[in-house]
Amino acid sequence: MPTPAEGQNPTATPAKRIVPLYPGATTTTTRPPLPVDSREQLVYLLTQASELEQGILCEYLFALYSLKRDPQDGLSAEQLAQVAGWSRTLSQIAVQEMLHLTLATNLLTAVGATPHFHRPNFPIRCQWYPPDVQIALVPFGEAALRHFLYLERPDQVDVGDAELFSVVCECQPLTATPTTLMAGPQAYSTVGHLYRSIGHGFARLVERYGEAEVFIGPPHAQASSLLLAWPELVAVTDLASAEAAIATIVEQGEGADGDWREAHFGRLSTILDEYLAATRADPTFSPARPARPAYVRRPPDQPQATVISHPLTRSPRRWRTCSTPPTRPYCRCCAVCSSTTTRPTTRWRPWRTPRSS
Protein backbone atom coordinates (compact mmCIF):
# COMPACT_ATOMS: atom_id res chain seq x y z
CA MET A 1 0.00 0.00 0.00
CA PRO A 2 1.39 3.47 -0.84
CA THR A 3 2.03 5.97 1.93
CA PRO A 4 0.03 9.26 1.96
CA ALA A 5 3.05 11.08 0.58
CA GLU A 6 3.33 8.63 -2.27
CA GLY A 7 -0.38 9.04 -3.05
CA GLN A 8 0.14 12.82 -3.44
CA ASN A 9 3.23 12.39 -5.57
CA PRO A 10 2.96 9.64 -8.24
CA THR A 11 6.69 9.78 -8.91
CA ALA A 12 7.68 9.29 -5.28
CA THR A 13 9.85 6.28 -4.47
CA PRO A 14 7.81 3.65 -2.59
CA ALA A 15 8.64 3.48 1.09
CA LYS A 16 10.76 0.50 2.06
CA ARG A 17 8.90 -1.98 4.23
CA ILE A 18 10.06 -2.25 7.82
CA VAL A 19 10.78 -5.92 8.35
CA PRO A 20 11.26 -7.30 11.86
CA LEU A 21 14.47 -9.18 12.49
CA TYR A 22 14.23 -12.93 12.72
CA PRO A 23 14.49 -13.78 16.47
CA GLY A 24 18.03 -14.60 17.47
CA ALA A 25 19.43 -14.06 13.99
CA THR A 26 22.40 -11.99 12.89
CA THR A 27 21.85 -9.66 9.96
CA THR A 28 24.40 -9.69 7.18
CA THR A 29 24.76 -7.90 3.88
CA THR A 30 23.39 -9.47 0.72
CA ARG A 31 26.05 -11.68 -0.80
CA PRO A 32 27.43 -10.62 -4.18
CA PRO A 33 26.29 -12.74 -7.12
CA LEU A 34 28.50 -15.46 -8.52
CA PRO A 35 30.39 -14.58 -11.70
CA VAL A 36 28.69 -15.82 -14.86
CA ASP A 37 30.67 -15.13 -18.03
CA SER A 38 29.39 -17.81 -20.43
CA ARG A 39 26.30 -19.68 -21.44
CA GLU A 40 27.84 -22.88 -20.05
CA GLN A 41 28.16 -21.33 -16.59
CA LEU A 42 24.57 -20.11 -16.71
CA VAL A 43 23.27 -23.53 -17.79
CA TYR A 44 25.29 -25.19 -15.03
CA LEU A 45 23.76 -22.96 -12.35
CA LEU A 46 20.28 -23.60 -13.76
CA THR A 47 20.82 -27.37 -13.58
CA GLN A 48 21.93 -26.94 -9.98
CA ALA A 49 18.74 -24.98 -9.31
CA SER A 50 16.61 -27.69 -10.93
CA GLU A 51 18.26 -30.40 -8.82
CA LEU A 52 17.80 -28.40 -5.63
CA GLU A 53 14.15 -27.66 -6.37
CA GLN A 54 13.47 -31.34 -6.91
CA GLY A 55 15.43 -32.40 -3.83
CA ILE A 56 13.84 -29.80 -1.53
CA LEU A 57 10.43 -30.69 -2.93
CA CYS A 58 11.00 -34.32 -1.97
CA GLU A 59 12.06 -33.22 1.53
CA TYR A 60 8.81 -31.31 2.01
CA LEU A 61 6.70 -34.20 0.71
CA PHE A 62 8.48 -36.73 2.94
CA ALA A 63 7.88 -34.59 6.02
CA LEU A 64 4.28 -33.97 4.95
CA TYR A 65 3.44 -37.66 4.49
CA SER A 66 5.05 -38.58 7.81
CA LEU A 67 2.44 -36.54 9.73
CA LYS A 68 -0.28 -38.38 11.63
CA ARG A 69 -3.83 -37.78 10.41
CA ASP A 70 -6.01 -40.41 12.08
CA PRO A 71 -7.60 -40.17 15.55
CA GLN A 72 -6.29 -43.70 16.16
CA ASP A 73 -2.75 -42.30 16.05
CA GLY A 74 -3.14 -41.13 19.64
CA LEU A 75 -3.62 -37.39 19.07
CA SER A 76 -6.36 -35.29 20.61
CA ALA A 77 -8.86 -33.40 18.47
CA GLU A 78 -6.98 -30.14 19.13
CA GLN A 79 -3.66 -31.73 18.19
CA LEU A 80 -5.13 -33.23 15.03
CA ALA A 81 -6.44 -29.83 14.00
CA GLN A 82 -3.00 -28.29 14.55
CA VAL A 83 -1.28 -31.05 12.59
CA ALA A 84 -3.82 -30.60 9.78
CA GLY A 85 -2.85 -26.93 9.59
CA TRP A 86 0.84 -27.79 9.37
CA SER A 87 0.00 -30.34 6.68
CA ARG A 88 -1.82 -27.71 4.60
CA THR A 89 1.09 -25.31 4.87
CA LEU A 90 3.66 -27.92 3.85
CA SER A 91 1.44 -29.00 0.98
CA GLN A 92 1.14 -25.42 -0.28
CA ILE A 93 4.90 -24.91 -0.04
CA ALA A 94 5.53 -28.20 -1.87
CA VAL A 95 3.21 -27.12 -4.70
CA GLN A 96 5.11 -23.84 -4.97
CA GLU A 97 8.37 -25.81 -5.16
CA MET A 98 6.85 -27.65 -8.13
CA LEU A 99 6.20 -24.23 -9.67
CA HIS A 100 9.82 -23.26 -9.01
CA LEU A 101 11.06 -26.40 -10.75
CA THR A 102 8.84 -25.58 -13.73
CA LEU A 103 10.14 -22.01 -13.87
CA ALA A 104 13.73 -23.24 -13.66
CA THR A 105 12.96 -25.58 -16.56
CA ASN A 106 11.57 -22.66 -18.55
CA LEU A 107 14.77 -20.73 -17.88
CA LEU A 108 16.81 -23.69 -19.11
CA THR A 109 14.86 -24.22 -22.31
CA ALA A 110 14.87 -20.46 -22.97
CA VAL A 111 18.64 -20.54 -23.50
CA GLY A 112 18.45 -23.66 -25.68
CA ALA A 113 19.28 -26.25 -23.01
CA THR A 114 17.26 -29.36 -22.23
CA PRO A 115 15.12 -29.82 -19.09
CA HIS A 116 17.09 -31.26 -16.19
CA PHE A 117 15.25 -33.72 -13.95
CA HIS A 118 18.23 -35.70 -12.68
CA ARG A 119 19.40 -35.59 -9.08
CA PRO A 120 21.78 -37.53 -6.82
CA ASN A 121 20.49 -40.28 -4.56
CA PHE A 122 19.34 -39.32 -1.08
CA PRO A 123 20.88 -38.41 1.25
CA ILE A 124 22.92 -35.78 -0.59
CA ARG A 125 25.66 -34.99 1.91
CA CYS A 126 28.68 -33.77 -0.03
CA GLN A 127 30.50 -33.73 -3.38
CA TRP A 128 27.42 -32.61 -5.33
CA TYR A 129 26.74 -29.14 -3.92
CA PRO A 130 28.61 -26.64 -1.74
CA PRO A 131 29.35 -28.11 1.72
CA ASP A 132 26.67 -25.95 3.35
CA VAL A 133 23.92 -27.38 1.10
CA GLN A 134 22.78 -30.87 2.09
CA ILE A 135 19.55 -32.70 1.24
CA ALA A 136 18.05 -35.67 3.09
CA LEU A 137 14.60 -37.14 3.73
CA VAL A 138 13.66 -36.56 7.37
CA PRO A 139 10.24 -37.00 9.04
CA PHE A 140 8.44 -33.96 10.39
CA GLY A 141 9.99 -32.57 13.54
CA GLU A 142 12.33 -29.92 14.89
CA ALA A 143 15.31 -31.19 12.87
CA ALA A 144 13.35 -31.11 9.61
CA LEU A 145 11.91 -27.65 10.27
CA ARG A 146 15.26 -26.12 11.21
CA HIS A 147 16.77 -27.65 8.09
CA PHE A 148 13.99 -26.16 5.93
CA LEU A 149 14.57 -22.75 7.49
CA TYR A 150 18.28 -23.06 6.79
CA LEU A 151 17.69 -23.81 3.10
CA GLU A 152 15.05 -21.09 2.65
CA ARG A 153 16.77 -18.39 4.71
CA PRO A 154 17.28 -14.93 3.19
CA ASP A 155 20.82 -13.68 2.75
CA GLN A 156 20.22 -11.14 5.53
CA VAL A 157 19.40 -13.88 8.07
CA ASP A 158 22.08 -16.09 9.55
CA VAL A 159 20.60 -19.25 11.06
CA GLY A 160 22.32 -22.58 11.54
CA ASP A 161 21.31 -25.88 10.01
CA ALA A 162 19.86 -28.66 12.17
CA GLU A 163 22.41 -30.69 14.11
CA LEU A 164 21.63 -33.68 11.91
CA PHE A 165 22.99 -31.72 8.92
CA SER A 166 25.72 -29.75 10.68
CA VAL A 167 28.49 -32.33 10.25
CA VAL A 168 31.13 -30.85 8.00
CA CYS A 169 31.80 -33.00 4.96
CA GLU A 170 35.37 -34.15 4.55
CA CYS A 171 35.03 -34.56 0.79
CA GLN A 172 34.76 -31.42 -1.31
CA PRO A 173 33.15 -30.98 -4.74
CA LEU A 174 35.48 -31.22 -7.70
CA THR A 175 36.53 -27.77 -8.85
CA ALA A 176 37.37 -26.62 -12.33
CA THR A 177 40.79 -25.29 -13.25
CA PRO A 178 41.11 -21.82 -14.79
CA THR A 179 41.95 -23.34 -18.18
CA THR A 180 38.97 -25.70 -18.41
CA LEU A 181 36.40 -25.24 -21.16
CA MET A 182 33.53 -26.52 -19.02
CA ALA A 183 31.62 -24.74 -16.27
CA GLY A 184 32.76 -25.66 -12.78
CA PRO A 185 31.05 -25.73 -9.36
CA GLN A 186 30.60 -22.43 -7.56
CA ALA A 187 29.98 -21.93 -3.86
CA TYR A 188 26.53 -20.41 -3.50
CA SER A 189 25.32 -20.20 0.08
CA THR A 190 21.51 -20.12 -0.15
CA VAL A 191 18.82 -20.89 -2.71
CA GLY A 192 18.16 -17.18 -3.05
CA HIS A 193 21.86 -16.50 -3.59
CA LEU A 194 21.90 -19.08 -6.39
CA TYR A 195 18.91 -17.51 -8.16
CA ARG A 196 20.25 -13.96 -7.80
CA SER A 197 23.45 -15.20 -9.43
CA ILE A 198 21.39 -16.71 -12.24
CA GLY A 199 19.58 -13.40 -12.73
CA HIS A 200 22.91 -11.58 -12.77
CA GLY A 201 24.15 -14.06 -15.38
CA PHE A 202 21.16 -13.44 -17.66
CA ALA A 203 21.64 -9.68 -17.44
CA ARG A 204 25.38 -9.94 -18.07
CA LEU A 205 25.02 -12.19 -21.11
CA VAL A 206 22.23 -10.06 -22.61
CA GLU A 207 24.38 -6.95 -22.14
CA ARG A 208 27.27 -8.67 -23.89
CA TYR A 209 25.48 -10.54 -26.71
CA GLY A 210 21.93 -9.19 -26.92
CA GLU A 211 18.63 -10.96 -26.22
CA ALA A 212 18.42 -12.61 -29.64
CA GLU A 213 21.72 -14.44 -29.01
CA VAL A 214 20.87 -15.50 -25.44
CA PHE A 215 17.24 -16.61 -25.68
CA ILE A 216 17.65 -19.10 -28.50
CA GLY A 217 15.27 -21.78 -27.23
CA PRO A 218 11.99 -22.50 -29.07
CA PRO A 219 9.11 -20.50 -27.54
CA HIS A 220 6.70 -23.42 -28.01
CA ALA A 221 8.80 -25.45 -25.55
CA GLN A 222 7.83 -23.11 -22.72
CA ALA A 223 5.34 -24.22 -20.08
CA SER A 224 2.76 -21.54 -19.30
CA SER A 225 -0.36 -20.95 -17.23
CA LEU A 226 -2.41 -22.04 -20.25
CA LEU A 227 -1.12 -25.59 -19.71
CA LEU A 228 -0.69 -25.66 -15.93
CA ALA A 229 -2.73 -24.14 -13.13
CA TRP A 230 -0.21 -21.61 -11.79
CA PRO A 231 -1.01 -17.98 -12.64
CA GLU A 232 2.61 -17.10 -11.74
CA LEU A 233 3.98 -19.43 -14.41
CA VAL A 234 5.46 -17.29 -17.18
CA ALA A 235 6.95 -18.29 -20.49
CA VAL A 236 10.58 -17.14 -20.58
CA THR A 237 11.40 -15.55 -23.92
CA ASP A 238 13.39 -12.43 -23.00
CA LEU A 239 15.24 -10.77 -20.14
CA ALA A 240 12.10 -9.26 -18.61
CA SER A 241 10.29 -12.61 -18.39
CA ALA A 242 13.45 -14.29 -17.06
CA GLU A 243 13.73 -11.69 -14.30
CA ALA A 244 10.01 -12.12 -13.51
CA ALA A 245 10.43 -15.91 -13.17
CA ILE A 246 13.45 -15.52 -10.88
CA ALA A 247 11.66 -12.88 -8.80
CA THR A 248 8.71 -15.24 -8.26
CA ILE A 249 11.01 -17.99 -6.99
CA VAL A 250 12.98 -15.72 -4.66
CA GLU A 251 9.94 -13.90 -3.30
CA GLN A 252 8.01 -17.08 -2.54
CA GLY A 253 11.04 -18.64 -0.88
CA GLU A 254 12.57 -15.87 1.21
CA GLY A 255 10.28 -12.88 0.63
CA ALA A 256 10.21 -9.67 -1.37
CA ASP A 257 12.55 -6.86 -0.24
CA GLY A 258 13.68 -9.07 2.62
CA ASP A 259 10.14 -9.41 4.05
CA TRP A 260 10.25 -13.06 5.03
CA ARG A 261 7.00 -13.17 7.04
CA GLU A 262 4.68 -14.44 4.25
CA ALA A 263 7.34 -16.38 2.35
CA HIS A 264 8.35 -20.01 2.88
CA PHE A 265 10.86 -18.93 5.51
CA GLY A 266 8.28 -17.09 7.59
CA ARG A 267 5.60 -19.77 7.30
CA LEU A 268 8.06 -22.49 8.32
CA SER A 269 9.25 -20.33 11.20
CA THR A 270 5.65 -20.11 12.42
CA ILE A 271 5.28 -23.89 12.25
CA LEU A 272 8.51 -24.35 14.22
CA ASP A 273 7.33 -21.95 16.95
CA GLU A 274 3.98 -23.75 17.19
CA TYR A 275 5.65 -27.15 17.27
CA LEU A 276 8.06 -26.16 20.05
CA ALA A 277 5.20 -24.65 22.08
CA ALA A 278 3.11 -27.81 21.63
CA THR A 279 5.93 -30.10 22.74
CA ARG A 280 6.61 -27.92 25.78
CA ALA A 281 2.94 -28.09 26.75
CA ASP A 282 2.82 -31.86 26.20
CA PRO A 283 6.23 -33.61 26.12
CA THR A 284 4.54 -36.80 24.83
CA PHE A 285 3.19 -35.00 21.74
CA SER A 286 4.53 -36.76 18.64
CA PRO A 287 2.85 -35.48 15.45
CA ALA A 288 4.81 -37.66 13.00
CA ARG A 289 5.48 -41.32 12.46
CA PRO A 290 9.11 -42.53 12.64
CA ALA A 291 9.40 -42.76 8.87
CA ARG A 292 12.61 -43.80 7.15
CA PRO A 293 13.60 -43.36 3.50
CA ALA A 294 14.01 -46.66 1.67
CA TYR A 295 15.02 -48.01 -1.71
CA VAL A 296 13.72 -50.87 -3.84
CA ARG A 297 17.32 -51.48 -4.88
CA ARG A 298 20.34 -50.31 -2.90
CA PRO A 299 22.27 -47.63 -4.83
CA PRO A 300 26.01 -48.23 -5.14
CA ASP A 301 26.78 -44.94 -3.40
CA GLN A 302 24.49 -45.65 -0.41
CA PRO A 303 25.79 -48.84 1.27
CA GLN A 304 23.77 -48.21 4.47
CA ALA A 305 20.47 -47.57 2.72
CA THR A 306 17.30 -49.32 3.87
CA VAL A 307 15.98 -51.68 1.19
CA ILE A 308 12.30 -52.59 0.77
CA SER A 309 12.02 -56.38 0.75
CA HIS A 310 8.31 -57.13 1.16
CA PRO A 311 6.97 -58.38 -2.21
CA LEU A 312 3.72 -56.40 -1.94
CA THR A 313 5.41 -53.03 -1.44
CA ARG A 314 8.41 -53.82 -3.60
CA SER A 315 6.55 -53.97 -6.93
CA PRO A 316 4.35 -50.89 -7.49
CA ARG A 317 2.68 -52.37 -10.58
CA ARG A 318 1.38 -55.46 -8.76
CA TRP A 319 -1.85 -54.32 -7.17
CA ARG A 320 -4.74 -56.58 -6.29
CA THR A 321 -7.97 -56.37 -8.27
CA CYS A 322 -11.47 -57.37 -7.25
CA SER A 323 -13.72 -60.16 -8.54
CA THR A 324 -16.91 -58.08 -8.24
CA PRO A 325 -16.74 -54.66 -9.95
CA PRO A 326 -17.11 -51.98 -7.24
CA THR A 327 -17.37 -48.24 -7.73
CA ARG A 328 -13.57 -48.19 -8.17
CA PRO A 329 -13.11 -51.43 -10.13
CA TYR A 330 -9.33 -51.39 -10.31
CA CYS A 331 -8.14 -50.09 -6.96
CA ARG A 332 -4.73 -50.56 -5.42
CA CYS A 333 -6.03 -52.67 -2.56
CA CYS A 334 -9.41 -54.18 -1.82
CA ALA A 335 -9.35 -52.52 1.59
CA VAL A 336 -9.92 -49.10 0.00
CA CYS A 337 -12.70 -50.12 -2.39
CA SER A 338 -15.88 -48.13 -1.91
CA SER A 339 -17.90 -51.33 -2.24
CA THR A 340 -18.18 -53.57 0.82
CA THR A 341 -19.17 -56.65 -1.19
CA THR A 342 -15.93 -57.07 -3.15
CA ARG A 343 -13.77 -60.12 -2.63
CA PRO A 344 -10.04 -60.27 -3.38
CA THR A 345 -8.87 -62.68 -6.04
CA THR A 346 -5.46 -64.10 -6.81
CA ARG A 347 -5.15 -62.12 -10.04
CA TRP A 348 -2.73 -59.20 -10.28
CA ARG A 349 -3.02 -56.32 -12.70
CA PRO A 350 -1.70 -52.78 -13.02
CA TRP A 351 -4.02 -50.08 -11.74
CA ARG A 352 -5.92 -48.99 -14.84
CA THR A 353 -9.42 -48.34 -16.11
CA PRO A 354 -10.82 -51.50 -17.75
CA ARG A 355 -11.73 -51.37 -21.40
CA SER A 356 -15.43 -51.23 -22.13
CA SER A 357 -16.89 -54.37 -23.67
Output the pLDDT for position 167. 54
Tell whether the model's pLDDT for residue 321 goes beyond 60.
no
Render pLDDT for 325-337 as a digit per residue (tens, 0 to 9): 444 443 444 343 3
Banded model confidence at residue 28, pLDDT cuts 50, 70, 90: very low
What pLDDT sits at residue 284? 92
Residue with the larger pLDDT of the pair 174 and 112: 112
The per-residue pLDDT for 257 is: 59
pLDDT score recorded for residue 256:
56
- Tell me how far apart the terminal alpha carbons of the chain are, to the nearest angstrom: 62
Per mean pLDDT, which range of 3-17, 186-200, 237-251, 309-323 is the poorest? 3-17
Residue 187 has pLDDT above 80, yes or no: no
Helix (H) or strand (E) holding 146: helix 142-152
Quick one: what percent of the chain has pLDDT higher than 90? 40
In this predicted model, what pLDDT tens digit does every residue of 66-95 receive, in sequence order?
Answer: 999 988 888 999 999 999 999 999 999 999
pLDDT in tens, 108-125: 999 999 999 888 777 776
Give the pLDDT confidence score for residue 202 in this predicted structure: 95
| DSSP 3-state of 259 | strand
Residue 8: per-residue pLDDT: 39
- In this structure, which amino acid lies at residue 335? A
Q: Spell out the domains of the chain, with CATH numbers in brackets.
A: 19-281 (1.20.1260.10), 311-349 (no CATH)
Crossing angle of helices 142-152 and 264-281, rounded to 10°: 160
DSSP string, 200-221: HHHHHHHHHH-HHHH--S-GGG
What confidence tier does 158 reach under pLDDT thresholds 50, 70, 90?
A: low
Residue 314 — very low, low, confident or very high, per pLDDT cuts 50/70/90?
A: low
pLDDT tens-digit readout, 247-288? 999 888 876 555 677 788 889 999 999 999 999 999 999 999
Q: How confident is the model at residue 165 (pLDDT cuts 50, 70, 90)?
A: low
pLDDT at 126: 64
Report the C-alpha gap between 343 and 173 in whole angstroms: 55
At residue 93, the pLDDT reads 94
From the number of C-beta atoms within 10 Å of its C-beta (0-12, 13-18, 19+), residue 252 rates as: buried
Task: Report which of residues 319 and 221 the model is more confident about.
Answer: 221
Work out the pLDDT band at 127, boundaries 50, 70, 90. Answer: low
Q: How sure is the predictor about 184, in pLDDT bands with cuts at 50, 70 and 90?
A: low
